Amino acid sequence: MTVTTSWYLILSALMFGIGTIGVLVRRNPLIMFMCVELMLNAVNLSFVAFGRELGDMAGQVVVFFVLVVAAAEVVVGLGIIVSILRRQPGATADDLASLKG
């Protein structure tokens, strides 16, 4: 049995759906952050699958740039989330809304 592009797209859709449900249901900022990263990886998988199907490197180039942006997001976002959770261990996403200023 050969794995086709549709299998990769189905897996990508499932990963994106799990990430979306996690962001909408969970209130812990760290869990929400991990779900957003899961959604980014799902999109990366679909880019690679379409690039492979079309025989084009553009999908992999886009994935490279998305990974660079995601790495920068992890450095800044995770640092902020960890510092907030150290100061206030039971903080939820609703509590973080008070940081607007």
Q: Which of 33, 23, 37, 39 is nearest to 82 (CA)?
A: 33
From 3.40.920.10, 1.10.287.3510, 3.40.630.10, 1.10.150.530, which CATH number describes the 5-93 domain?
1.10.287.3510
State the Cα–Cα distance between residues 10 and 56, nearest whole angstrom.
21
Domain edges within the chain: 5-93
Count Cα atoms within 13 angstroms, Cβ side, for 22: 18
State the Cα–Cα distance between residues 68 and 18, nearest whole angstrom.
23
pLDDT band with cut points at 50, 70 and 90 for residue 98: low
State the Cα–Cα distance between residues 43 and 55, nearest whole angstrom.
18
The percent of residues above 90 in pLDDT, for the chain, comes to 51
Q: What is the mean pLDDT of the chain?
A: 89
Write the DSSP symbol of residue 57: S
Name the pTM for this structure.
0.83
Is residue 45 within 8 A of residue 59, CB to CB? The reply is no
- pLDDT at site 91: 81
Question: Each residue of 41-83: pLDDT tens digit?
Answer: 999 999 999 999 999 898 899 999 999 998 998 899 888 888 8
